[in-house]
């Protein structure tokens, strides 16, 4: 099983071991485009793996800060109260780069940049760039993906 994320098309595709498409979802990647450097706000390219799955069993729209549930559920009122929050909701698939010097170690380490595939408010437009580097998904889609894949799933991010 493997995941391919295409920045140009703003899609995430899950393939089975034979190369057949199991699922395809619209996503939203970084407003700053593709790039691997720390503090760039870009979505990193290349080969990654799902390092950790966080949030199993959490309610849809459960709010995470620092990879921990806050106890909040994202609502329009909560969003109005905290307009500057980067909303990480429902599930987190934490990525780790596999290519030394490109997306692993040093100033380009995807894991140390806290790059995730995660849920986002329902009002977030998909198929359009907008994140701070992560890959945003609709909440129902990230739950479905989370339930289908194991830790260690290969993730390839291409322009």
Going by C-beta distance under 8 Å and a sequence separation of 6 or more, which residues neighbour residue 5?
11, 12, 13, 27, 29, 43, 117, 135, 155, 156, 157, 158
Q: Which residues contact 147 (CB under 8 A, 6 or more apart)?
A: none
pTM above 0.95, yes or no: yes
Mean pLDDT confidence for 110-127 = 97
What per-residue confidence (pLDDT) applies to 72? 97
What average pLDDT score do residues 91-111 get?
A: 97
Supply the DSSP symbol for 116: E
Whether domain 2-158 has CATH 2.40.50.140: no
Listed by start position, the domains of the chain span: 2-158
Q: Which pLDDT band, with edges at 50, 70 and 90, does 159 fall under?
A: very high
First to last CA, the chain: 21
Strands 62-65 and 46-54: unpaired
Among residues 95, 90, 93, the alpha carbon closest in space to that of 70 is found at 90
pLDDT in tens, 36-83: 999 999 999 999 999 999 999 999 999 999 999 999 999 999 999 999
pLDDT of residue 43: 98
E-only strand ranges, 18-153 = 21-26, 46-54, 62-65, 68-73, 88-97, 116-119, 135-137
State the DSSP H helix or E strand holding residue 11, giving kind and residue range, or none if neither: strand 11-15
């Amino acid at each position: 099983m493997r995941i391919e994320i295409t920045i140009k098309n703003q899609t995430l595709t899950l393939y089975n071991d034979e190369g057949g498409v199991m699922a395809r979802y619209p996503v939203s990647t970084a407003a700053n485009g593709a790039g691997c450097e720390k503090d760039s706000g870009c979505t990193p390219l290349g080969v990654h793996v799902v390092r950790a799955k966080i949030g199993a069993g959490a309610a849809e729209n459960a709010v995470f800060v620092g990879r921990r549930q806050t106890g909040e559920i994202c609502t329009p009122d909560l969003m109005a109260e905290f307009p500057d929050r980067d909303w990480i909701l429902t599930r987190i698939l934490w990525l780790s780069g596999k290519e030394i010097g490109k997306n692993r170690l040093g100033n380009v380490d995807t894991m140390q940049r806290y790059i995730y595939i995660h849920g986002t408010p329902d009002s977030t437009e998909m198929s359009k760039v907008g994140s701070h580097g992560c890959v945003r998904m609709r909440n129902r889609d990230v739950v479905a993906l989370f339930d289908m894949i194991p830790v260690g799933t290969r993730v390839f991010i291409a322009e």
